[in-house]
Structure 1
């Protein structure tokens, strides 16, 4: 039986520079070709037991070893800040000085531009990444408009960034390319948005010229709605008279009692479906109209979606 290779404590679990490890006497150059290690980039390795091709953070750590003069940025920085909008097997997005010319690699997406001293922070085990404001700024000027809004909404929702902070950053970087796009996006961002599809749905309504809906609106049962079957509200508690919580909806036009909901895949689960039916019936009983839309509506049936909302508003105005 072959002897199990000894793994130095300093090289466990996280990516490392092979040449630096050899120079430090932690490992031999020959042993790096053995089964105990996985090569990620040129001269960057990780313990085989810690390798997971789907682990984007591992790839970010490897990129930081490979490109010590750069910073993780864009969608990869957003991922480290807790906002995952990465496609499957996404490369690590990094920003490098204009003079840097690393070898091309399918797991690296390189942008060449200058970053200010205050644009980079080291977190998550020392990975250099763009700050929350710089990350939002870069996404706002590089992504398609709907994706950019969804990303900035998510950063605000996770409370890693405040709208005022981003606004100040935009004002202080007025000379950078794409700043106009971010400035136009600022009035549309919404920290209460809970999913990218909610952000996209809200943007569709805005672009159609419809009134801005209230996000995450709480619908409460008023005393006049709470009867005991005889038309009297006297049997209900004081809490009910003040307004008992009935439901929280994604978007709402309270003035017309119109609720707009995005239905994701999780709503197809049996338990969720049963709760949704009861919730929908309760809202209808109190006079609310609930419009429910799917990803297909938001992405491919935009015109019909807008017409549905317009008709509902017209009927209730």
Structure 2
């Protein structure tokens, strides 16, 4: 992947850098894999070249002529790359659907290279920029706690198509007696609906067994379970209908049978990033003094 990016970036002019998914990948965001939402089509490597208007083009790259601040460009594996916030912004701007913009944002958040607060602040500086409206809509829909892009898509369908109230993401389920049941992908505490996305990683033996035990414990305390697979994400309307039906079943569960509670996770990434960057600045200062 790095070689593919480096090849496309081989003719970047002095003012220019890879951006979008490619820069996010270089910064360590593994889910930015350079593939379209279908999981098969290769995306071109996006390159920002500023407002100079001319570049020696590469067939596997696409070019952006928006202004670029070279002070915010990092060199990674010999390739100049925009900073994580600008890179994520450009990845979101390349999306044509709201769900894809949310996914692009959360890919970077999952990797811990940006926080939602940083993107919200950055978007405020982009008023009137082409594509910013979609990004502005996407930021409030994102979560800090997602584990995979498909989980993000599942949540989007539940909240934006099925109109389920805001779901808890990767919260911890407990019994009312104080016994820990385990982490659940998506939970609606009002109805007791739990939505789990079953990706390929759920198919290995130990994981499958642990999932089965956890889900059985959830059923035993009165939760309604819905498992979603990748093919179901191909039809948002059909999946939304399934989610609505599951939530209606959950709402009919008698109160005395509801012997669970969901404990939401608390935001931490933004403060963690601030602390990490402050430490990096301190280390850089110490290195300068020692030279």
Provide the TM-score with structure 2 as the length reference. Answer: 0.75
* 1:315 aligned counterpart, secondary structure: helix
Mapped partners of 1:315, 1:290: distance in 2: 10
Alignment match, 1:22: none
- RCO greater where, 1 or 2, for CA within 8 Å and sep 6 or more? 2
Alignment match, 1:59: 4
Q: Which of 106, 111, 117 is the matching residue for 1:153?
A: 106
Q: Which residues in structure 2 correspond to 1:4-19 (within 5 Å)?
A: none
Quickly say closer, same or farther: Cα 1:312–1:57, change in 2 above 3 A: same
Contact 1:93-1:108 within 8 A present in 2 as well: yes
Mapped partners of 1:298, 1:175: distance in 2: 33
Which runs of no fewer than 5 residues in structure 1 stay unpaired?
1-55, 224-242
Q: Does 1:136 align with 2:88?
A: yes
* 2:114 aligned counterpart, secondary structure: coil
Mapped partners of 2:188, 2:69: distance in 1: 43
Q: How many pairs were matched up?
A: 241
Q: Which of 231, 234, 237 is the matching residue for 1:296?
A: 231
Alignment match, 1:179: 132
Quickly say closer, same or farther: Cα 1:217–1:125, change in 2 above 3 A: same
Q: Which of 229, 242, 248 is the matching residue for 1:314?
A: 248
Mapped partners of 1:141, 1:124: distance in 2: 23
Contact 1:150-1:200 within 8 A present in 2 as well: yes
Alignment match, 1:250: 185
Larger deviation, residues 246-255 vs 98-107: 98-107
Alignment match, 1:305: 239
Shift of 1:295: 0.7
Which runs of no fewer than 5 residues in structure 2 stay unpaired?
252-291
Mapped partners of 1:274, 1:78: distance in 2: 34
Contact 2:195-2:226 within 8 A present in 1 as well: yes
Q: Does 1:287 align with 2:222?
A: yes
Alignment match, 1:81: 27
Shift of 1:71: 0.5
Mapped partners of 1:185, 1:103: distance in 2: 34
Contact 1:61-1:127 within 8 A present in 2 as well: yes
Mapped partners of 1:277, 1:203: distance in 2: 25
Q: Which residues in structure 2 correspond to 1:157-306 (within 5 Å)?
A: 157-208=110-161, 209-223=163-177, 243-300=178-235, 302-306=236-240
Mapped partners of 1:197, 1:261: distance in 2: 11
Shift of 1:64: 4.4
Contact 1:150-1:195 within 8 A present in 2 as well: no
Larger deviation, residues 166-175 vs 106-115: 106-115
Provide the TM-score with structure 1 as the length reference. Answer: 0.70
Mapped partners of 1:78, 1:112: distance in 2: 19
Q: Which of 61, 73, 78 is the matching residue for 1:108?
A: 61
